[in-house]
Structure 1
């Protein structure tokens, strides 16, 4: 049975119009995004399949384009809509933290970093650039590595900081393992970053590691001087 053959008040689009988005299940909301199913499967059933395959709504929104396209019934257009939705959610959270002080909006920053980095299967290194009042100018993902690590060219970080006219920075990277515990390499990188940035008068305020349960700052572990987030 196709969705057009369902009772009108059970169809996702009509249900959305009559009762609002909150009345729809995850599968029904995903169905509104992908719009169509296949010759044998409705959009809602296809959405349910995707939620099952990727484990959850979070898993679906974190899935890469290639993984989405590998599922029968999901082509480039449907995959692009899902990836675009995930990107919009990240940008919405980013809007909420820009021009705020990260030490006063630590919870919002943690939510943003979790959405942006937590589910990545590769290690990503980024920077939160701050102005002289320690308000956030921007967040940038700068380097992407593998499951076990990322090469971070210190010189390029310094150059980018100067281009942003930053007075301070919070370094960030994720651990795909989900364990937000700094390694000896993380500690060594932090020390090198701090020394290099100090030469151009950019203060490294913290180095956050994003894991499954949130982020941990090296400053909170006594591994970096300065104020602590959280």
Structure 2
């Protein structure tokens, strides 16, 4: 199956598109390896940078994981504007149940290039954690991508 290109890569020359497609395929393969700890993997961050860093609008993606924290699926659930996004916890829960997920990692981008989470980011993360807890899906992390920088809520002790 051909790797879906992130939006930014669709404007590249065909050879460059192929290079991005191959990089995404390799990184996603690493994420699906048995025994790979999803939340500590550098491949996760590299994969998210390729998926989100160059977007011109905010996007919220969820990485759905099984009981061993291996990647089941990834969904981009919401697209926003250059500086905001509306997130509906109900839709996140529906997607988690559809994917039969045991755990999740949230990720979204800041098109400004500044990875520092806002107060709104912290509030929606708490709401999503509460909603997912109700259906026994553990929220492992929320990663904010700003250019090449990524801030982890878990590493900051916010989850």
TM-score, length basis structure 1: 0.60
The equivalent of 2:123 in structure 1 is 188
SS of 1:126's equivalent?
strand
Residues 92-126 of structure 1: per-residue CA shift (max 9 Å, x gap): 3222212432134x211111111111111111100
Report the equivalent of 1:62: 8
Higher strand share: 2
Aligned residue in 1 for 2:37: 101
- Give the number of the structure whose alpha-carbon radius of gyration is greater: 1
CA contact (8 A) 2:9 2:17 kept: no
Q: How does 1:105-116 map onto structure 2 within 5 Å? A: 106-116=41-51
Q: What secondary structure, in the 3-state scheme, does the structure 2 residue paired with 1:159 have?
A: helix
Q: 8 Å contact 1:98–1:138 — kept in the other structure?
A: no
Task: Please state how far the C-alpha of 1:62 moved relative to its aligned partner.
Answer: 3.4
Deviations 1:75-100 (A, max 9, x none): xxxx5x35742344323322221243
Gapped regions of structure 2 (runs ≥ 5): 1-6
1:14-33 pair list within 5 angstroms: none
In 2: Cα distance, 1:223 partner to 1:88 partner: 34
Alignment check: 8 A CA contact 1:127 1:142 kept: yes
Bigger proportion of residues as helix: 1
CA distance in 1, matches of 2:72, 2:10: 28
Q: Secondary structure at the match of 1:129?
A: strand
- Count the aligned residue pairs: 150
More moved, 110-119 vs 210-219: 210-219
| Superposition TM-score, scaled by structure 2 size | 0.84
